[in-house]
Structure 1
Amino acid sequence: MKAKNKFAAMLTVVTVGLTTSLSSVQAFSESSISENKRKPELVFPVISDVHIDDGSNADMNKFRTAMDQLNKAAPKQDAFVVVGDLTDYGYATEYDKFFSIYNEKKQADVQSMFTMGNHDYWNGLSVEKAQDRFLEKSGMDSLYYHKKVNGYDFITLSPENGNTHGLYSVNQINWLGEKLAAAEKENPDQPIFVFLHQHIKDTVYGSDLWGTQENKELLYDTLKKHPQVITFSGHSHYPLEDPRTIHQKDFTSVGTSSVSYLELEPGKLQGFHPEGYRDISQGMIVEVYNNEFIIKKRDFHKDDWTGKPWVIKNPSKKNKFKYTDDRDQLPPSFAGKDKASIVKEKSTLRSLNVTFPQAKDNLLVHSYHITAKNKVTGELDADFTAFSEFYQDPVPKNLEFPVAGLKPGTDYEIKVQALDSFNNSSKKVLLADGQTKALEMVSAQASPSLVTTGESTTLQVKMKNFGNDSVKGKIKVDAPEGWSVEHNELEYELSGSEEKNLPIKAIPSKESSGSSQFTITAYEGGQIIGSKNINVFVNMMLGEGFDQLDSALKPAVNENIPSSILGWSHKAPNGWSVTNSSNMPAGTEEWQGWSFTTKEFWTKAEDQDRSKFELGQGVIAVADPDEWDDNGSPASKGFFDSTLTSPSVKVEGAKDLYVGFASHYKQEGTQTAEVTAVFDNGEKQQVLVYDNKAASDNKNGHVLNKYEVKSINVPEDASSMKLQWRMHNAKNNWFWSIDDIRLDDQMIVSPN
């Protein structure tokens, strides 16, 4: 078959339109839709970022739901437009899943239009072959094209490579200019619809970070000549509720949000992927009338409309533009009775929780500026902004946020000020006073963590009093069966600002073997100050639970996690090492290769099944390409590739060994996880492999919260061995976490 011309305009289809008039819409609901008797000249849905993924059915279900709702809300559609990222990786199987749903659900006679997105290039193919696949699967005749629908001009653009910010070439933009000029000449006052994946930079909400980069001035200036242009773009996943999602200056721009999941601007307390972000799914329906058109915004996740429609009258007249940057000068406001307060039972050493009622605004309360003033020094020890959670359904009436990064045992004044989307701030601020806790259980670890029968270990518990007054309390030890401990309870007293190590000797019984877990709990009076689990390994060739790294954990650097949570380190246990490939690009600092972290810290970054690692206790080892890619988009430049290597273990005279470890793994794309035994004679033996092949240990699926036990055959001439856990071939994929590593010449019994 002759190859299609990617850069040729498509055949023009002309349909005679109807003429009607429409008054402005003031209110919006399901009932008002059903009562609307006006007949539009043109109706078309626009959606974006469907992200059909081979590794999950979730996005297929969201897409199916969206199609059903759009068909119900608009039973007669003239066109249907998807502005890019139909797939997550541009795999043929992902396209097949997308179009199996689309072709089943689409209305007869609807004109289908699709653009490529950057994700549709991420399949390992060359740019040209990725484009060929898109054209073959979508049925489009070219990468960018022009159609007539009911007499209206539809111009569709596509990025010409898979770069995050897209590439719209000079040739494509010049072609666009020719089509716009011809359309305006034919119908000077009629809107011209332009569709593309990436936003035009510095137009809609999200375009500052996610807008076009290369040739951006040429693209903007080309559109600027034609004020009747309305662009629709996705890519950022930013929500439709924010009023900046529609923008008018020289022409009209509209953000389309995402069917797959929500994203927000960075720099706020909740992060750009706030809790519940994957539950949010949005799109829109456009109705065109004589000299006016309406954009109705849809929440697919709640099967209802969101906010009032955007109504645009005669877009060829710039003096009629109302969705401008200066459209809102009114600040949000708190009611006279509104107050903030501290949730005392949630106070910690370095944080206070503040709660308060939401402010009101004529358009949208977007966020809150919150500060904590140290009453001793007068300095601001905390200063941050938090979303109002306007994207939730329903939007909460009251909010509660942790104010972190505070000093222990200190009095604070918390101040809350409301902000809208246009940086107008409330005149009234809410104030609350609170005091942080003073006593901390700094760390708890066993030294040594690997013992044999008859040997003892010491449980080292470090306590610190940050206050000025002396405090008393006790340490309680819950020991595993068969262990004897020097103290089941140990009382302590700390003077002001004192730090003290409290050692407790523990001895295993003759019957003890494998992994034993101690629970250490610190009390001040009758109140629990902290609790930590400690793993000790008995009669093993190798045992590691990473808990010795407890005192090495640090606060977040790139992750938006309160500094009061000390949760990660790149420092490996004694004798262990982490090696990252020299070709691995720099990403999120906390996850630059194998990291050692707590589940609390890890799940604060994002959950997405991370919290299901119940076998992981205390400090765990994590390789997380998904979080790694959230800073600087390193996956667009190269692969995640990191190896965790154990100390050398003597194996001379051994024949068969057994390795066991707790494993928590999610598969996506080409990512590969391997465990390899490396012997001093140069021989390597693959012990386990997870990847996207059906014959692998994971059978191209997830392995969540499983204790893996594998055998190793020792070569006759080998005297020592190291074990390596390697995560590689990974882009913005998922994660692998391990814990409770055991090696022995006896069969290892899985703890689950």
Structure 2
Amino acid sequence: MRRTPFVITAASLALLLPAAAHATAPTAGAAAHPAQPTAAHATPAPPTLSSAGGRYERPVSLTLRAARGTTIRYTLDGTTPTRADRVFVPGRPLRLTKDTNVTAVAFRGGRASIPVSAGYLVKSREKPLARLVVMSDVHIGGHEKNDKKYESFFDTIGSVFPEPDAILSNGDMINDNGDGRGGDHRIVSEIFRANLKRKGMDDTQVLLSNGNHDASLADIRANYPRAWFPDSGGGYYESNVRGLHLFTVNTETYQSDAAQRAWLKKRLAELTADPAKARTPILVQGHRPAPGTAMDGQQASNPQLTKDLAAHPQVIYFSGHSHLNINDERSVHQRDFTAVNDGSMSYVEMDHGYQAITETGLADRFEAPTAQALFVEVYRDRTEIARVNMAADKHDIYTGGKWSADWQPPYASAGTLSGPAWTVRLKGNSPQQIKDSFTYTDARRNTTAPRFTARHPLALTGGGRALRVRQARDDQMVHHYRVDVENTATGTKLLSSKVLSEYYFMPRPNSLDIPLPAMEKGARYVARVRAVDAQGNASRETTLRFAG
């Protein structure tokens, strides 16, 4: 992880709710005890869903319910429903046959409820060889801010895997910055053990890797059960999870640790030499990304690790450290092996060079208070990697100018999906044949551009102080918008920015209100906007002309 993270304040609930859900202040001269609004004029309660989100081994028949006199509208693509979206018809349940996010809103007159969302992983009755949860960067520093949070997180884990075979915590369990906080590992151990007991995960293995904020290896050994970190002195070790080989590497020393490199290369060569195991995945976890792999290797290190794994396409390498989000399709990468970014359990980041809309306007912001993890199912012929939000409600990571990543449950977005599952298949009889069959390569990256579907995607709002962009649609996701606003007479740029689309929140907002600088009265302006996906595919330009 790049930064020392935490100055903590409580989250502002106002940031979590749409404007329609906020109470309206009484006008001047109103009675001291005004009458309560009638049901016809009150904000509706959100709909309820007949089946909770989670993992199912059959299609899900889902009924949506709301108060009499309301209309329920829903989406299945992670967006917030509007009055233009599909109406749920009572007596006609939704039939979910594949992984889906369902979001519903109750409408009554001109008012709308807050949205309710749930994620459904729809599987067959086929039993995987092993089920693992992969997380990283939990950054726990005390019980006060983390006990309730991790109760929620483990509830989400249990809704997908009631008893996972293993939980991997891939480095940076604590917030040590060379300031002697190694004892905080005991707090992590206490929180994890309490939740494992509470959820009945009695046989779940916990396997830890060393990260740059984890103080010393001695502190890790001293504060966790030995089975959680069974290294022999160098912070690396081999485990067996239901017959699968799992290697934990110490990326803090890998580049210079000749013994560690020799150990990993020897064991990988031994395992892949057996023709009967040529198509069996080998799992590797290490805190830091390998260069030139997932998310373009941002914050990567250890080029020797990339080199040492390159001969073994059976490897699936999980890494954290960067906090880069797992919504982005660049979080999986294949060339010589499969590299997967496992996100962050404390807050996520986006790649740099963009701006975000914040409570104080546009800011060079690349963090969001979203927690995510991977849910991995290994089958005989494939490995399925589901991307799940622990918490992704809309919220600014700074509240009142202070860092506020440690916001507390309940999380309306818990258990929603941050993208379709990735499927890794090992096809072929030789390493090169396996590599040739890879899906998530640079050459096979998505080339479909986003498109605006609204008739008028741009408008002024807030008395002309903001440019409203109705979000474009993409077959994967819109990453950001290129926004240029200029004076048509002088060519002077009023605004030139790449604005993040808020794809990392669930549900995603339908429109973005981008603040505009002060304009010259009477001057003529033109706004030009393109929607861009994570691969750089750009939509056609849409424009709006207006006067200052």
Deviations 1:322-381 (A, max 9, x none): 12223211110112613312226253xxxxx21121001111111000012222322434
Q: Which SS does the other structure have where 2:184 is aligned?
A: helix
Q: Which SS does the other structure have where 1:71 is aligned?
A: helix
Deviations 1:430-477 (A, max 9, x none): 324242xxxxxxxxxxxxxxxxxxxxxxxxxxxxxxxxxxxxxxxxxx
1:649-664 equivalence runs, <5 A? none
Distance in 2 (CA, whole Å) between partners of 1:371 and 1:33 is: 40
1:134 aligns with 2:220: yes
Q: Which SS does the other structure have where 1:430 is aligned?
A: strand
1:149 aligns with 2:209: no
Query: Which residue of 78, 87, 109 corresponds with 2:203?
Result: 109
What corresponds to 1:120 in structure 2?
Answer: 214
Preserved CA contact (<8 Å) 2:483 2:529: yes
Preserved CA contact (<8 Å) 2:98 2:122: no
What corresponds to 1:394 in structure 2?
Answer: 507
Preserved CA contact (<8 Å) 1:340 1:432: no
Query: Which residue of 315, 319, 322 corresponds with 1:233?
Result: 319
1:304 aligns with 2:415: yes
What corresponds to 1:327 in structure 2?
Answer: 445
Q: Which SS does the other structure have where 2:213 is aligned?
A: helix
1:627-646 equivalence runs, <5 A? none
Distance in 1 (CA, whole Å) between partners of 2:246 and 2:148 is: 29
Query: Which residue of 66, 69, 85 corresponds with 2:156?
Result: 69
Preserved CA contact (<8 Å) 1:338 1:356: no
Q: 1:167 to 1:346 in 2, by over 3 A?
A: farther
What corresponds to 1:169 in structure 2?
Answer: 257
Distance in 1 (CA, whole Å) between partners of 2:454 and 2:155 is: 45
What corresponds to 1:50 in structure 2?
Answer: 138
Report the AA paired with residue 210 of structure 1. Answer: Q
Q: Return the offset for 1:189.
A: 1.4
Deviations 1:506-536 (A, max 9, x none): xxxxxxxxxxxxxxxxxxxxxxxxxxxxxxx
Query: Which residue of 376, 390, 404 corresponds with 2:489?
Result: 376
Preserved CA contact (<8 Å) 2:173 2:188: yes
| Structure 1 residues without counterparts, runs of 5 or longer | 1-24, 122-129, 348-352, 436-752
1:184 aligns with 2:275: no
What corresponds to 2:171 in structure 1?
Answer: 84
What corresponds to 2:435 in structure 1?
Answer: 318
Q: 1:263 to 1:60 in 2, by over 3 A?
A: farther
Distance in 2 (CA, whole Å) between partners of 1:405 and 1:157 is: 53
Distance in 2 (CA, whole Å) between partners of 1:432 and 1:154 is: 58
Preserved CA contact (<8 Å) 2:416 2:506: no
Query: Which residue of 533, 536, 541 corresponds with 1:423?
Result: 536
Q: Return the offset for 1:58.
A: 2.5
Q: Return the offset for 1:43.
A: 0.8
Structure of higher CA gyration radius: 1
Preserved CA contact (<8 Å) 1:338 1:430: no
Preserved CA contact (<8 Å) 1:63 1:259: no
The alignment-based identity, stated in percent, is: 28
Q: Return the offset for 1:429.
A: 2.0
Distance in 2 (CA, whole Å) between partners of 1:173 and 1:409 is: 68
Distance in 1 (CA, whole Å) between partners of 2:214 and 2:518 is: 41
Q: 1:397 to 1:148 in 2, by over 3 A?
A: same
Preserved CA contact (<8 Å) 1:28 1:309: no
The structure that is strand-richer by fraction is 1
Distance in 1 (CA, whole Å) between partners of 2:426 and 2:373 is: 23
Distance in 2 (CA, whole Å) between partners of 1:333 and 1:108 is: 49
Q: 1:372 to 1:400 in 2, by over 3 A?
A: same
Distance in 2 (CA, whole Å) between partners of 1:37 and 1:46 is: 23
Report the AA paired with residue 501 of structure 2. Answer: S
What corresponds to 1:99 in structure 2?
Answer: 189
Report the AA paired with residue 537 of structure 2. Answer: N
Deviations 1:3-29 (A, max 9, x none): xxxxxxxxxxxxxxxxxxxxxx95346
Distance in 2 (CA, whole Å) between partners of 1:112 and 1:264 is: 28
Q: 1:38 to 1:185 in 2, by over 3 A?
A: same
1:581-660 equivalence runs, <5 A? none
Report the AA paired with residue 525 of structure 2. Answer: Y
Deviations 1:595-631 (A, max 9, x none): xxxxxxxxxxxxxxxxxxxxxxxxxxxxxxxxxxxxx
1:198 aligns with 2:288: yes
Report the AA paired with residue 288 of structure 2. Answer: Q
Deviations 1:133-161 (A, max 9, x none): 11222332320111122221101012336
Q: Which SS does the other structure have where 2:375 is aligned?
A: strand
1:366 aligns with 2:479: yes
Q: Which SS does the other structure have where 2:132 is aligned?
A: strand
Distance in 2 (CA, whole Å) between partners of 1:299 and 1:31 is: 9
Distance in 1 (CA, whole Å) between partners of 2:469 and 2:120 is: 34
Q: Which has the higher contact order (CA 8 A, sep 6+)?
A: 2
Preserved CA contact (<8 Å) 2:478 2:532: yes
What corresponds to 1:160 in structure 2?
Answer: 252
Preserved CA contact (<8 Å) 2:524 2:545: no
1:386-465 equivalence runs, <5 A? 386-404=499-517, 410-435=523-548
Report the AA paired with residue 329 of structure 1. Answer: T
Q: Which SS does the other structure have where 2:164 is aligned?
A: coil
**What is the TM-score when the length of structure 1 is the normalising length?**
0.49
Q: 1:32 to 1:426 in 2, by over 3 A?
A: closer
Report the AA paired with residue 62 of structure 1. Answer: K
Query: Which residue of 339, 354, 366 corresponds with 2:457?
Result: 339
Distance in 2 (CA, whole Å) between partners of 1:400 and 1:141 is: 51
Q: 1:322 to 1:63 in 2, by over 3 A?
A: same
1:523-542 equivalence runs, <5 A? none
Q: 1:387 to 1:151 in 2, by over 3 A?
A: same
Preserved CA contact (<8 Å) 2:255 2:305: no
Q: 1:66 to 1:120 in 2, by over 3 A?
A: same
Q: Return the offset for 1:273.
A: 4.7
1:427-506 equivalence runs, <5 A? 427-435=540-548
Report the AA paired with residue 423 of structure 1. Answer: G
Distance in 1 (CA, whole Å) between partners of 2:123 and 2:278 is: 33
Q: 1:152 to 1:403 in 2, by over 3 A?
A: same
Distance in 1 (CA, whole Å) between partners of 2:519 and 2:325 is: 32
Q: Return the offset for 1:247.
A: 1.2
Q: 1:313 to 1:26 in 2, by over 3 A?
A: farther
What corresponds to 1:209 in structure 2?
Answer: 298
CA-based RMSD of the aligned residues comes to 2.6
What corresponds to 2:16 in structure 1?
Answer: none
Query: Which residue of 269, 275, 282 corresponds with 2:372?
Result: 282
Q: 1:64 to 1:88 in 2, by over 3 A?
A: farther
What corresponds to 1:521 in structure 2?
Answer: none
* Pairs aligned (count): 388
Of stretches 111-120 and 32-41 in structure 1, the one that deviates more from structure 2 is: 32-41
| Structure 2 residues without counterparts, runs of 5 or longer | 1-96, 102-117, 357-362, 392-412
Q: Return the offset for 1:303.
A: 2.2
Q: 1:26 to 1:406 in 2, by over 3 A?
A: same
Report the AA paired with residue 415 of structure 2. Answer: D
Q: Which SS does the other structure have where 1:321 is aligned?
A: coil
Q: Return the offset for 1:272.
A: 6.6
Q: Return the offset for 1:33.
A: 4.2
